[in-house]
Structure 1
Amino acid sequence: MVKIVGIAGSLRPNSYTQLALRVAAQRLEALGAEVEIIDLREWQLPFCNGGKDYSDYPDVQRLRDTVSNADGLILATPEYHGGVSGVIKNALDLMSFDELSGKVTGLISVLGGQSNSNALNDLRLIVRWVHGWVIPEQIAIGQAYSAFSPEGKLLDEKLSQRFDQFAQSLVENTRKLRGVN
């Protein structure tokens, strides 16, 4: 079974980034994948200082172990000032090649303005740098305040179809690249 870990780089209550990650997780689960979401709002992670020893922060090792045991990842970020959030970047910086190399990764960005690819391109560079595999399908949700119903459902059928294609690609490519069923 394909095991995917999702991480959202937003700490905001009622976060659209968290909503988008949950939609992706539901689509993956419908395809038979096992999905675990790391909610960074509930974890105690320090700012990365470039070192390896974070023994005062057990959630760093928990993060590393959870990602190490996954076949693939979903990285979801709000776009702040034209790039990834500091929250997602810090979480990634607390890990290394040991955890991230070889992971098949799907990318999602969420922003209040017009959709673009800046944060997605940033994440693609980061994942490539640590020898991960980014699937070609990606999701950028512009004007996120109008993308979801009050219940957290997607309002746009084309966007919903993109989530289906995203999930299908992540599962298929994870099976191929990681050799899992």
Structure 2
Amino acid sequence: MKQTKKPFILGIGGTTSPSSSTEVALAISLQAAEAAGAETELFGSDRLMALPHYRSDPAGLNQTGKDLVELVRRADGFLISSPGYHGTISGLVKNAIDYIEETSTDDRVYLDGLPIGLIVTAYGWQAVGSTLAALRSIVHALRGWPTPLGVGINASGGIFSQGICTDESVNDQLKMVAQQVMLRAEAR
């Protein structure tokens, strides 16, 4: 019997706080991917803050940057979660995405052909929409495939607390975006 490899799904995102709605939403989605049979890893707030500003000089990468690049190379799919800051993605998340440039000369350039699920949290719908559009544009530029569902969450109502989301429709969307990533990752 042929042994199949579990897809590896990398979650990148959060804010400076591991208990932020952005990181909690990402963790919920990664748990759904794991329940569907994936191996997962969360590259969240602690590691995002340990990344220096990206510069295209491999000698300038610290260990956290090198680890991120290796995780990107290993990934069969991604979940990316950003807060909507002033109508677009946060600098912290964008900096991590910039490290994908280190794969520009790999056999698989950037995110070529990989499924990418997108999650945005913001304290208002306008920032949710524009941030989700910005993330989709970035994923396209990196040759990735954004999933049909992008999860936009207006977190102003306090639906995230102590690592859980109290809104079942949002939980369902977070699970669905993970399932869409998994379907495409397994098909590859």
Q: TM-score range, shorter-chain basis?
A: 0.7 to 0.9
- 1:154 alignment counterpart: 165
Residues 18 and 45 in structure 2, CA contact (< 8 A), matched pair in contact too: no
Residue in structure 1 matching 2:114, options 100, 103, 121:
103
Answering whether residue 113 of structure 2 is matched by residue 113 of structure 1, we say no
1:158-173 alignment to 2 at 5 Å?
158-173=169-184
Greater strand share, structure number: 2
Answering whether residue 169 of structure 2 is matched by residue 131 of structure 1, we say no
Q: How many residues align?
A: 175
Instruction: Give the letter for the 1:8 counterpart.
Output: G
Give the whole-Å Cα distance in 1 for the aligned partners of 2:92 and 2:22.
12
Residues 118 and 150 in structure 2, CA contact (< 8 A), matched pair in contact too: yes
Give the whole-Å Cα distance in 2 for the aligned partners of 1:26 and 1:127.
22
Residues 7 and 37 in structure 1, CA contact (< 8 A), matched pair in contact too: yes
TM-score, length of structure 1 as denominator length: 0.88
* 1:111, distance to aligned residue in structure 2 (A): 0.8
Residue in structure 2 matching 1:69, options 65, 70, 74:
74
Give the whole-Å Cα distance in 2 for the aligned partners of 1:13 and 1:38.
11
Aligned sequence identity (%): 31
Give the whole-Å Cα distance in 2 for the aligned partners of 1:124 and 1:64.
21
Answering whether residue 57 of structure 2 is matched by residue 46 of structure 1, we say no
Give the whole-Å Cα distance in 2 for the aligned partners of 1:78 and 1:19.
11
Unaligned runs of 5+ in 2: 1-5
Residue in structure 2 matching 1:8, options 13, 30, 40:
13
Give the whole-Å Cα distance in 1 for the aligned partners of 2:183 and 2:18.
33
TM-score, length of structure 2 as denominator length: 0.85
User: Which region of structure 1 is more displaced relative to structure 2, 126-135 or 114-123?
Assistant: 114-123
Q: 1:159 to 1:57 in 2, by over 3 A?
A: same
- 2:42 alignment counterpart: 37
User: Which region of structure 1 is more displaced relative to structure 2, 161-170 or 66-75?
Assistant: 161-170
User: Which region of structure 1 is more displaced relative to structure 2, 70-79 or 93-102?
Assistant: 93-102
Unaligned runs of 5+ in 1: none
* 1:102, distance to aligned residue in structure 2 (A): 2.7
Greater helix share, structure number: 2
- 2:3 alignment counterpart: none
Answering whether residue 96 of structure 2 is matched by residue 85 of structure 1, we say no
